[in-house]
Amino acid sequence: MASEYHRGDMDISEQVATFNLFNGLTKWGSLSIAALMVLLVVWFCTPAGFLAGFISAAVLTVLGVLFLREKPDAAH
């Protein structure tokens, strides 16, 4: 049975899709948690209030989306 294995013959498209999904969920989930934490910390732990917390979280979200979005692949 072991001699029937040929390295590199298996279709790995499902593994690649799972890897990409996991990376995407990790990336966007981390950004959403960070924005929520900024909102809550500025709102409850400083005298700035809700509006400053919301603006801070919105700025973080916009910058995060700009930096974390998918870039086109470089031509090799």
Residue 72: predicted pLDDT? 83
Residue 11: predicted pLDDT? 82
**45, part of any domain:** yes
Angle between helix 13-45 and 50-68 (nearest 10): 160
**Residue 41 domain boundaries:** 36-69
Reported pTM: 0.78
In this structure, which amino acid lies at residue 12? Answer: I
**2, part of any domain:** no
For each of the chain's 76 residues, which pLDDT tens digit applies? 567 777 777 788 999 999 999 999 999 999 999 999 999 999 999 999 999 999 999 999 999 999 999 888 766 5
Identify the burial level of 45 via C-beta atoms within 10 angstroms of its C-beta, where 0-12 means exposed, 13-18 middle and 19 or more buried.
exposed
Residue 74: predicted pLDDT? 62
Distance CA 39, CA 36 (A): 5
Tokens, residue 48: 């700035």
Tokens, residue 25: 């969920």
Q: How many CA atoms lie within 13 A of 3 on its CB side?
A: 0
**59, part of any domain:** yes
